[in-house]
Amino acid sequence: MQMADAIGLARRRASKRRKGRPSCVDCFFHCQMLCALDLDEPCSTFRPNSADGLVPPRQPALLLRQAPEETSARVA
């Protein structure tokens, strides 16, 4: 942080926000000074900053479907 202050980079000020809604200030990339965007709301690459570091987003559950020939055999 001292290096950023020395070269004139400043972190964005935290704005008033609603509870429970993420903001850029909560983003891992913003906290690590890896973000080059200056937006009012989080972008599509938002990842929450945590003590564990960068945590990948949860993946949706995989739903298995039956093969079409199995479905038509049951109908007949």
In a domain, 30, yes or no: yes
The two tokens of residue 33 are 């000074």
Whether 25 is covered by a domain: the verdict is yes
Q: pTM for this one?
A: 0.50
In a domain, 11, yes or no: yes
What pLDDT digit, counting tens, does each position of 11-62 carry?
A: 555 455 556 788 888 899 999 999 988 887 888 888 889 888 888 878 899 8
48 SS3 class? strand
Report how far residue 36's alpha carbon sits from residue 45's, in angstroms, rounded to the nearest whole number. 12
Range of the domain at 17: 1-53
Q: Is residue 76 part of a domain?
A: no
Q: What is the tally of structural domains in the chain?
A: 1
60/14 Cα distance (integer angstroms): 31
Nearest one of 69, 48, 68 to 58, comparing CA atoms: 48
